[in-house]
């Protein structure tokens, strides 16, 4: 899977279909709505949960392109950062103690 290309394809589809490509605040609201739909599908044990999660990813990729971020690179950097972090358990909750 080439996330960089998928991000470009998601953006091109937005352009081709005349979807929002300029209003960042609106796009965050749409993303939030998709997360809510995914959560509702999970809670209701609906069969379309995986499709709703795909919608979340699509909106996130579109927003990343709108903001000129390479989401694939950002994910890789964050995964690496998370691997280096150290946690300890406090009252049955994991708490980060170092980056």
Which residue range(s) make up the domain with 44? 3-98
What is the CATH number for 57?
1.10.287.1080
Q: 49-67, pLDDT tens digit by residue?
A: 999 999 999 999 999 999 9
Structure tokens at 21: 């490509």
Query: Any idea what the Cα angle at residue 7 is, between residues 5 and 13, rounded to 5°?
Result: 100
**Structural domain count of the chain:** 1
Dist CA 54 CA 29 (whole Å) = 17
Q: 15-39, pLDDT tens digit by residue?
A: 999 999 999 999 999 999 999 999 9
Dist CA 9 CA 11 (whole Å) = 5
Q: Reduce the DSSP state of residue 89 to 3 states and report it.
A: strand
Residue 56 is predicted with a pLDDT of 98
Query: Rounded mean pLDDT of the chain?
Result: 96
Residue 15 is predicted with a pLDDT of 98
Check whether 1 has a pLDDT greater than 80.
no
């Amino acid at each position: 899977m080439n996330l960089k290309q998928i991000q470009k394809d998601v953006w091109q589809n937005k352009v081709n279909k005349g979807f929002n490509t300029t209003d960042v605040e609106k796009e965050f609201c749409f993303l939030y709505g998709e997360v809510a739909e995914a959560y509702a599908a999970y809670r209701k044990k609906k069969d379309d949960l995986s499709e709703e999660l795909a919608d979340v990813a699509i909106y996130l990729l579109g927003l990343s392109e709108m903001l000129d971020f390479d989401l694939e690179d950002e994910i890789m950097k964050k995964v690496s950062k998370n691997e280096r972090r150290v946690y300890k358990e406090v009252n049955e909750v994991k708490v980060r103690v170092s980056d």
